[in-house]
Amino acid sequence: MKKSMIGLLFFSCSFSLFAETLTDPVVDVTQAKIFGLWRVYNSGSTIYIVDKEKRRFLRMDASSNRPVYYNEERLAFSLFDNGTSKAGNILSETHPWLKDVETAKNIEVSAHLLNGLFGFGEKRFQVDNETLTIYNQSDLDDTTQTLKTQITLKKYSNAVINKGTQTVSNFEESIVIAPSNILVPPRILGDCVTTYSNETQKLIIPCLVINGQTIIYEIQLKQTPDTLNFTADLFSFKRVQ
């Protein structure tokens, strides 16, 4: 199949984990972003990360306090720096925090949570493809770029992993979904960002609208070495929604 030549100006950037530009806050006040099956909601003073399907959620403020995890039965688990967890109280059905959880579940999302480093006070949220890592700024060793403690969420699983200085607490998933089962449509702010990979030398352009149709397509462009020209790989042209 014939390929067409396109000249494009781009910025070649390399990123290392935990060395990206900080975007603060992770979500604007009274708004929510989606990360797979999770909703990330900012109530103003608190960030909630909610599993819309099973009602698991993490609640955290802007301080260096550790997030608290709540399971499907609303049972609280304190997550400690050493990696252990301790069960606490069960939230009543009328607890005001659950109103925030319901808001997070039902509010219209403003964007997808894309790759990058985000903040909320002392909290940091590192998104790396299908993994969301939550930690306090003080947990990052600036010299070695390693974390002392961290909480990890997966994009398509509601497992919660608390990795500490001594051990790991693993709240195993009660649901795993395929990416195609995410109900929120991808045609929202943040989905149509063109990305370039130094490793593959491919430029991926999503969200092509053909003849005014609302169907979304994407195509990959292959860079011609030592030039700013890209060849459109028509074999990569595909419908994504």
pLDDT for the residue 227: 79
pLDDT for the residue 197: 66
pLDDT for the residue 203: 65
Tell me the per-residue pLDDT of 125-154, one tens digit each, with 9 for 90 and over.
Answer: 999 989 999 999 999 988 888 999 999 999
Residue ranges of domains in the chain: 22-179, 192-239
| List of the chain residues with pLDDT < 50 | 1-19, 183-189, 214
83/78 Cα distance (integer angstroms) = 10
pLDDT for the residue 142: 83
pLDDT for the residue 129: 87
Look up the pTM and report it.
Answer: 0.70
pLDDT for the residue 198: 67
Mean pLDDT computed over every residue of the chain: 81
Tokens 């045609």 correspond to 187
pLDDT for the residue 145: 83
Task: Please compute, for residue 184, the number of CA atoms within 13 A of its CA located in the half-sphere on the CB side.
Answer: 23
**CB-CB neighbours of 146 under 10 Å:** 12
pLDDT for the residue 52: 82
Tell me the per-residue pLDDT of 165-206, one tens digit each, with 9 for 90 and over.
Answer: 999 999 999 998 877 665 444 444 455 666 666 666 666 666
pLDDT for the residue 85: 97
C-alpha separations of 104 from 9, 52, 131, 168, 236 in Å:
39, 8, 20, 28, 36
